[in-house]
Structure 1
Amino acid sequence: MKIAIIAHLKFPIAEPFHGGLEMHTHCLTEALMRRGHDVTLFALRESDHRFQIVQPTLDAITPTPGVDLFDGEPGFGLEFVNKFHAYMEVLQVIQRSDFDVVHNNCLHFLPLSLAHTLGCPMVTTLHCPPFASLRSGVILARPYLGNQFVAVSESIARQWTEDITHCRVVLNGIQVDRWAFSRRGREGTAFWFGRFCPEKGPHHAIRAAKLAGYRLRLAGSIYDHAYFDRCIAPELDDRIEYVGHLDHAGICREAGNSAVGLFTSVWEEPFGLVLAELLACGTPIVSFDSGAAREIVGTGCGVIVPKGDAAAMASAIPQAAGLDRAYCRQYAERHFGIDRMIDDYQALYQKLAPNSGKTREAVLHPPSISVA
């Protein structure tokens, strides 16, 4: 099939991943290409060079002298206008092409709002709870029968029931074989990784580790620098260490070396790829009861504690550290393999576009191009 994937235009779809959305888009693109599909990824030029990348114009509009009637009005800033222009350009390229299906993996309302103009069906993955601008796109897209919504968890599907009457659930998958299994972690050590911002709650992991008497290593991108400087940096010492924004190999090494992984999201986490990745390394988990956590952390793989309760997390750390690491790995293989996720999406594409062409020979080194 000829498939267009629309990524968001904020961060590159490349390692080290800024977050779960970037990793999901990368895994989806790579796996579909390996199955012989002709995939075009609309994303930033700095994304994985093995992909066929089309980057729209990001700064089409520049400030001009003279009176701007909307100057100072919320919602009409230059950043909004340029982002709107970029996604409109993406849609125009798709309209002029012969794609069999579009997979919308961005969080902007415009692709959804204009899905009915593309000439082919669209699959939209819902990676987050309803927020105003995305809800607008969803509501506008509902009458179009060629649009299919997919939620990454039952938790997210439930949150969208007010706006979407039918939503499939396709749990996220990871390339489990790329996550090195470790039969034994270092006693008395914990690991946290993710994006440093208040809603991910790394400050709770620090408090829990201290209460439990465990060493803690933290990794990830610093998204909110003010939060990091205020709540994380002052706590760092020889037992609480920030080890940087690591690549895949670095995350594998840290997860495998740790006796337990900590998951501290305090918002309703849509899925939590970190959880599946820790399990793939054999690392048992203590997780806040956040969003989809109960769908991922199976019995025997970790301990769920009340959201925001660092003391309860601390009490559960020794229990989790004693769980069977081989079972954690087996659980990840059974439930979160990338092939299962791609099978589900591929079946949906074929249902929406039953007369699509045959798969092409897989190519992982096409040129990247920009759209003028």
Structure 2
Amino acid sequence: MKALLAQTALAFLLAITAPRAEAARLVIWMVGDDKTPQVMRPAVQAYRARHPGVTVEVRDVPWADAMTKYSAALASQRGPDLITGSTSYAIALGAKGALVDLAEAAPDLASQLTRHANPGALRALHRADGRLFGAPFDMHVQLQYYRSDLVHAAPADWAGFLATAQALHARGHGVAQQWGNTSWLGFYPYLRQAGGTVYDAGCTRAVIDSPAAVSALTYYARLYRELNAPTDGWPDADGGLASGRYGLMQSGTWLLSRMDMVHKGLAGKWAAAALPAGPTGRRTAVLGGTVLAITRFSPQRALALDFMRTVYQPDVTRRMAEAALAHGGMWLPSGRQDQIAHLPLPYRDALLTQLADAEGPPPCPTWMRQDYLLTRAVQRVVLAGGDPQAELRQAAAVMNRALEAQR
């Protein structure tokens, strides 16, 4: 009996002093403000229902700090299991070996994205070698917004836009571009509408000085020279629409959910439409947004992959979008574009039309280091009266020298 009691006491002592195995934990860093993690809440709830023993921690990372924090995590091999960031972040970090290639690690998820993701968002992520260092997460595109009491219908093409803008100007109303004004981002839709691109298909050469690109920049400059559109980086275009200062403007899709909320006097007096078509007949808009990716140093890679599969379940994705709307925000799921048709959004048909013709930034690792060259060329033409062909030729030459130097 004494021996049995001694063994029992020893077992109890070992049980209370032995180190406990840590519960599995996933850490997610999301770019944005402190409200951003709320978007992920429905996915966390759905995931915890399947994995009750896994803790999921979602943190916000300000855009200004994101690349610094992600690079530091890469250097130390410690940090989050999943991250969100811009498409360019995914391309750059993937090229450094920091992110999991979904095409290799999760072909089922990659196949699902091929079926359901926005095509432009997926093209912006797919490298020329087929690797996929992230999944489209959310997106925004440009739309035309106009005063429906001042403009009978949205302009259908470039010529129609100029004619409508000139008629508005004669009546004391201007036009404005809000997103990416006088930068590469603002110029990019016109470039694609004219049939131009930044690089060739293999990301081996800059072709920003093509005839299509020159035509696009020539037209883009007319919007400022002839229509006196504001040139500051972020004009109060929606406020100007409300006051009547502007009768027509271009901005992002986030205004669909907040226009009536922020500008109550504008209710019933505005409308939205897809962008005017360029010479090719296309209405291509720039596609912005974020990507969801898994870090290569994550010790919970299998759990992280399963979390991604949860995010892209249709019911979960829809609840995430609805949660954003409930808080007065806008989260358009680029990985499950099929769910947007179920959302209670104004001018949803115009949104879906534009999303069918939208392109993200070039999927080239060098783009983040070269985008300023295109912005500089655009601004020299728009702000300083430079020659479009000469400025684009100079930008292409600098870009190609850098490309050749790194080969």
Which TM-score tier does this pair reach, normalised by the shorter chain?
A: 0.3 to 0.5
- TM-score normalised by L of structure 1: 0.34
Q: Which has the higher contact order (CA 8 A, sep 6+)?
A: 2
The structure with more helix, counted as a fraction of residues: 2
Give the number of the structure whose alpha-carbon radius of gyration is greater.
2
- TM-score normalised by L of structure 2: 0.32
